[in-house]
Amino acid sequence: MTKNVTLTRFIIEQQREFPGVSGTFTLLLNDIVKACKQISHMVNRGDLIGVLGSAGSENVQGEVQKKLDIITNDIMVDSLIWTGHLSGMASEEVDDIIQIPDHYPRGKYLALFDPLDGSSNIDVNLTVGTIFSILRYNGSGQPQLEDFLQKGSEQICAGFVLYGPSTMMILTTGHGVNGFTLDQDIGEFILTHPNMTIPSETSEFAINMSNQQFWEAPVKRYIDECVAGEQGPRGKNFNMRWVASLVAEVFRILTRGGVFLYPYDLRDPAKPCKLRLMYEANPVAFIVEQAGGACSTGRERMLGVQPKGLHQRVPLILGSKSEVDRIIEYHQS
């Protein structure tokens, strides 16, 4: 490809290369891109337009919502609901599936999204993002809950957008992973990171060490070995990173390798896991695998997990394949 390839051009050229990709799908991606540009603008304006801080409400998971959680969710829904490309949507911020009103046409896709991942970081000016996943809908009429509960391996597209020093979109349609940077002057995402690949070896890990007392033995063993450094069984030193923003963690791993763990923990039996399968784990797992990495719950491949609910939580271990495989081995021993 030539220099300065826009995301729109990239999608169209990929559509020609893979005839199964429809024009409707391309238009759907363009709708998502437009919504993320609006979100980027809102995040960048921040307190200048009074959108930071708590909204004084909770989402379906019982988490305190930020003003931008609600605003970004409305942007995603309003941008997608009328287009005729979707049969339904699901959002981390909404209890039930979002139906397309009867006065709008319906398409053959379902969209699931976390409109503002890492929103707890927004008030301290750290990187946040939007995560999305697209599934096929083969039914007719209004989709039901069971239509959304597809394994991650059934995704036809996944991506996330980082709102940080620059705005970037990381995208896969099942043919590798590519990164695009928003050129604010022309309002277009430009291909800047083609064919992203995760190094198979790493000496970097990311985990919330404050939860150490609640981890299961396999995770404790892995982290203890990393911390032991050259004098330990691994025979080398490791660096630790922790941003508490999934999109930022995954992007770092895509660019320089590493492993990220948000494992099962024993602190609260009602909430043994933090991250949502449908809106967070499945999309990033699709991206990570397409980039040559691995993603697991510790006990099974993430993309093989059969969803049981729209807001189901799962342990998440992803990154450089050799390290993820080691952690899986520790869970099996």
Residue numbering of the annotated binding site? 92, 114, 116-120, 208, 274, 280
Instruction: Identify whether the C-beta of residue 114 lies closer than 8 Å to the C-beta of residue 131.
Output: yes
CB atoms within 10 A of CB 239: 11
* Most distant pair of Cα atoms in the chain: their distance: 67
Instruction: Enumerate the known binding-site residues for substrate.
Output: 117-120, 208, 274
Chain centroid offset of residue 283 CA? 5
Instruction: Identify whether the C-beta of residue 281 lies closer than 8 Å to the C-beta of residue 275.
Output: yes
Chain centroid offset of residue 290 CA? 13
Query: Collapsing DSSP states into helix, strand and coil, what is residue 13?
Result: helix
Segments of the chain assigned E as strands: 54-58, 64-66, 86-91, 98-99, 109-117, 128-136, 157-163, 167-172, 178-183, 188-193, 204-206, 239-241, 259-262, 275-276, 294-296, 313-314, 316-319
Instruction: Enumerate the known binding-site residues for Mg(2+).
Output: 92, 114, 116-117, 280
